[in-house]
């Protein structure tokens, strides 16, 4: 390994740009040396390095969960993955090398010119400084902390260390252990009590080489009575050579706080996207996961909420689109651990071509609690004769005080519906698109407006070619 050059650290608090301009090569494959190297390069405190090494140990001991998950997981080769990418190693190509269909997608989705080159892998960085400098001032005035994971742990340990790794312990599953060993990038956010942010914070604001990386670690703490919406991902296809993305997102909503976390995922079709997302909701707080999964070869993601405080509320709204060669394996986990808590899960999936969508849910209500409620609705729409869907919810309720309702349905767009719409002049493809958009409409409306228009266009794009 090459020794890193000295790092420029800008110690101005609240500053956006945490310089990561260094060149090195951690090579491929995973080992203690690689983990130590990552930690050294970031100049992390000793406790973080220890945390990473312990996690590596846990990762190696755990087996792949193929006893319940898809056997496709066995195709992940841990030895050929790069576990840390710096700016120098970012994959790049010329604009001419970018495939035509990607360029067309950018056009159809109306992606701004300046962003296209970044997304296509032609440029390694997207300079978002200018666009968001005003917001940055506004945030620092309010006392909001919005930094990357490395800076968060180094500069604000008194705030973040308390919750880091507590919502999702390292040993939760094999991939949270992996992330805990090699994480970098992601957002660490703290919102002070009573501060209600009107504008959503976006991962976009923190673009640098690490950020659309493979092992992001995000931790959001909303203090009492505060409100925040955070958005990550984008509808446009993102150029990737790495095949494994394993992020961890931890949310903490303290008393009366509200967190809304919006994700749109459209990774390319060679990516394994295995994410652990969980929130801890305290008294009277509210956490909402709003998720749209359109890309990747395999996505496994089960956003969860631990309803720890009285009257807390958790919601998961999820849309999944699975096309040829894709498997969207998503769901929700609601663990009720206090009285009068409520949870709501709405999941809609569309399987096109040979795509497969799976829903896995868990709802837990023990007997010593009172008055908890859950409502789950999962609907699947199958477009072509080879499309597949599975549903595996698990509901365990004890005690006489709760009420739980679960409904699931599988259907297709009927020939009669298509004929009806064609009789009014819509082509078969347009009719099909309209039905699919109608199917997911209620959920698309929950997404911030910036996304919902793009999402509709993206769904239309996916539908093309599915008919005839």
Partner 1 sequence: MIADKKVKPSSLKILSQEHFENFSTKHSWEPGWLVDLRKESWEQLKSIEENDLKNESWRFSPRSRFGYSQFNNITDSSDSPKFNQSSENPDIICDSVDNILLKHPDIVSCFTDAKGPNLGAIQTYQLINTYFNNGFFIKVPKQINENLRIEVDHCLPMSENVTFHRNFVTLEDFAELTIIETYSNDNHIHKGALSNLTHFKIGKGAKLNRILIQNSSRESSFYNLENFDLHADSSVVNVECYLGANQSRIETKGNLLESGSCFKNFSFVSANGEQLFDQRTEQHHLAPNCSSNLLSKNVLQDQSKAIFSGLIRVDPEAQHTNALQTNRNLLLSKEAEADSLPGLEILANDVRCTHGATTSRLNQEELFYLLSRGIKKKNAESLICLGFLEEILDKIPDENLAKKIRDLVCTHFN
Partner 2 sequence: MSTLSVQNLSVNIDDKTILDNFSLEVPSGEVHAIMGPNGSGKSTLSKALAGHPGYEITSGTAKLNDTNFIGMEPDEISRVGLFLAFQYPIEVPGVSIANFIRAAIQSRMNDIKSFKAVDYYKALYQKMDDLGMDRKFTSRSLNDGFSGGEKKRCEILQMAMLDPKFCILDETDSGLDIDALRVVSEGVNAMRSKNRSFLVITHYQRLLDYIIPDKVHVMWEGKIVRSGDKELAKELETKGYDWIKQEIAA
Q: What is the distance in angstroms between the CA of the first residue and the CA of the last residue of the chain?
A: 54
Q: Where does this chain touch partner 2 (CB under 8 A) — which range of 23-31, 198-206, 210-218, 436-444? A: 436-444
From 8, 129, 386, 442, residue interacting with partner 2 (rule: CB under 8 A): 442
Taking CB under 8 A as the rule, does residue 66 contact partner 1? Answer: no
Q: Where does this chain touch partner 2 (CB under 8 A) — which range of 207-215, 260-268, 331-339, 429-437? A: 429-437
Give the whole-angstrom CA distance, residue 192 versus residue 203: 19
**Of these partners, partner 2, partner 1, none, which one is at the site of residue 114 (CB under 5 to 8 Å by kind)?**
none
The residue with tokens 């690689």 is 34
Name, in order, each residue with C-beta under 8 angstroms of 446's C-beta and a sequence gap of 6 or more: 290, 317
Give the whole-angstrom CA distance, residue 413 versus residue 436: 8
Evaluate the CA torsion angle 67, 68, 70, 76 in order and state its sign.
Answer: negative
From 30, 102, 264, 440, residue interacting with partner 2 (rule: CB under 8 A): 440
**Of these partners, partner 1, partner 2, none, which one is at the site of residue 412 (CB under 5 to 8 Å by kind)?**
partner 1
Report how many residues bind partner 2 under the rule CB under 8 A: 24
Evaluate the CA torsion angle 425, 380, 243, 220 in order and state its sign.
Answer: positive
Are the C-beta atoms of 183 and 250 separated by less than 8 Å? Answer: no
**Of these partners, partner 2, partner 1, none, which one is at the site of residue 441 (CB under 5 to 8 Å by kind)?**
partner 2
Q: Where does this chain touch partner 2 (CB under 8 A) — which range of 87-95, 119-127, 365-373, 439-447? A: 439-447
Count CB atoms within 10 A of the CB of residue 341: 29
Strand 187-191 vs strand 258-265: parallel, antiparallel, or unpaired? unpaired
Map the footprint of partner 1 across residues 223-262, applying CB under 8 A.
none
From 88, 110, 143, 367, residue interacting with partner 1 (rule: CB under 8 A): 367
How large is the angle between the packed helices 46-61 and 174-182, nearest 10 degrees? 150
From 15, 92, 114, 427, residue interacting with partner 2 (rule: CB under 8 A): 427
Hey, what are 394's tokens? 């698990």
**Of these partners, partner 1, partner 2, none, which one is at the site of residue 434 (CB under 5 to 8 Å by kind)?**
partner 2
Give the whole-angstrom CA distance, residue 175 versus residue 258: 27
Residue by residue, DSSP assigns 45-74 as -HHHHHHHHHHHHHHHHSPP-TTTS-GGGG
**Of these partners, partner 1, partner 2, none, which one is at the site of residue 99 (CB under 5 to 8 Å by kind)?**
none
The residue with tokens 């819509």 is 426
**Of these partners, partner 1, partner 2, none, which one is at the site of residue 396 (CB under 5 to 8 Å by kind)?**
partner 1
Residue 457 C-beta: closest distance to partner 1, Å = 25
**x-or-dash string of contact with partner 1, 386-425, rule CB under 8 A:** xxxxxxxxxxxxxxxxxxxxxxxxxxx-------------
Q: Where does this chain touch partner 2 (CB under 8 A) — which range of 109-117, 213-221, 222-230, 430-438? A: 430-438
Q: Where does this chain touch partner 2 (CB under 8 A) — which range of 173-181, 214-222, 337-345, 435-443? A: 435-443
Taking CB under 8 A as the rule, does residue 384 contact partner 1? Answer: yes
Give the whole-angstrom CA distance, residue 384 versus residue 354: 8
Evaluate the CA torsion angle 108, 114, 117, 121 in order and state its sign.
Answer: negative
Map the footprint of partner 2 across residues 384-423, applying CB under 8 A.
414-417, 419-423
φ and ψ at residue 180, rounded to 5 degrees: -65, -25
Question: Would you say 248 or 443 has its CB closer to partner 2?
Answer: 443
**Of these partners, partner 2, partner 1, none, which one is at the site of residue 417 (CB under 5 to 8 Å by kind)?**
partner 2
Give the whole-angstrom CA distance, residue 218 versus residue 211: 11
Question: Would you say 320 or 380 has its CB closer to partner 1?
Answer: 380
Give the whole-angstrom CA distance, residue 292 versus residue 284: 26
Residues that bind partner 1 (CB under 8 A): 67-68, 351, 367-368, 380, 382-412
Residues that bind partner 2 (CB under 8 A): 414-417, 419-428, 430-431, 434-435, 437-442
């Amino acid at each position: 390994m090459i020794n890193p050059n000295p790092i420029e650290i800008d110690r101005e608090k609240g500053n956006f740009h945490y310089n990561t301009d260094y060149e090195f090569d951690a090579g491929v494959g995973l080992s203690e040396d690689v983990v130590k190297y990552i930690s050294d390069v970031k100049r992390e405190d000793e406790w973080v390095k220890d945390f990473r090494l312990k996690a590596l140990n846990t990762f190696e001991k755990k087996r792949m969960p193929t006893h319940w998950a898809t056997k496709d997981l066995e195709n992940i080769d841990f030895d050929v993955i790069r576990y840390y990418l710096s700016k120098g190693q970012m994959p790049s190509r010329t604009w001419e090398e970018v495939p035509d269909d990607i360029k067309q997608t950018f056009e159809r989705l109306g992606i701004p010119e300046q962003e296209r080159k970044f997304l296509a892998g032609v440029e390694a960085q997207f300079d978002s400084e200018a666009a968001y400098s005003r917001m940055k001032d506004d945030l620092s005035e309010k006392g909001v902390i919005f930094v990357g994971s490395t800076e968060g742990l180094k500069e604000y340990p008194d705030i973040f260390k308390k919750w880091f790794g507590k919502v999702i312990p390292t040993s939760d599953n094999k991939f949270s252990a992996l992330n805990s060993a090699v994480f970098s990038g992601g957002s660490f956010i703290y919102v002070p009590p009573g501060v209600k942010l009107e504008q959503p914070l976006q991962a976009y604001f923190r673009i640098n080489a690490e950020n659309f990386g493979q092992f992001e670690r995000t931790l959001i703490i909303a203090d009492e009575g505060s409100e925040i919406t955070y958005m990550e991902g984008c509808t446009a296809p993102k150029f990737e050579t790495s095949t494994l993305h394993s992020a961890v997102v931890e949310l903490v909503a303290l008393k009366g706080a509200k967190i809304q976390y919006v994700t749109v995922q459209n990774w390319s079709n060679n990516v394994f996207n295995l994410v652990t997302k969980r929130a801890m909701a305290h008294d009277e707080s509210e956490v909402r996961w709003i998720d749209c999964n359109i890309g990747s070869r395999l996505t496994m993601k089960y956003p969860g909420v631990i309803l720890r405080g009285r009257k807390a509320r958790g919601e998961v709204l999820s849309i999944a689109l699975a096309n040829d060669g894709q498997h969207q394996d998503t769901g929700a986990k609601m663990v009720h651990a206090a009285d009068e808590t409520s949870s709501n899960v709405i999941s809609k999936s569309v399987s096109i071509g040979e795509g497969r969508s799976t829903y896995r849910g868990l709802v837990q209500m023990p007997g010593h609690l009172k008055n908890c409620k859950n409502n789950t609705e999962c609907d699947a729409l199958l477009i072509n004769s080879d499309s597949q869907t599975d549903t595996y919810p698990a509901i365990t309720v004890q005690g006489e005080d709760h009420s739980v309702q679960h409904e699931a349905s599988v259907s297709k767009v009927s020939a009669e519906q298509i004929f009806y719409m064609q009789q009014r002049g819509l082509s078969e493809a347009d009719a099909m698109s309209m039905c699919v958009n109608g199917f997911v409409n209620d959920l698309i409306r929950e997404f911030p407006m910036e996304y919902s228009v793009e999402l509709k266009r993206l769904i239309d794009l996916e539908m093309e070619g599915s008919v005839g």
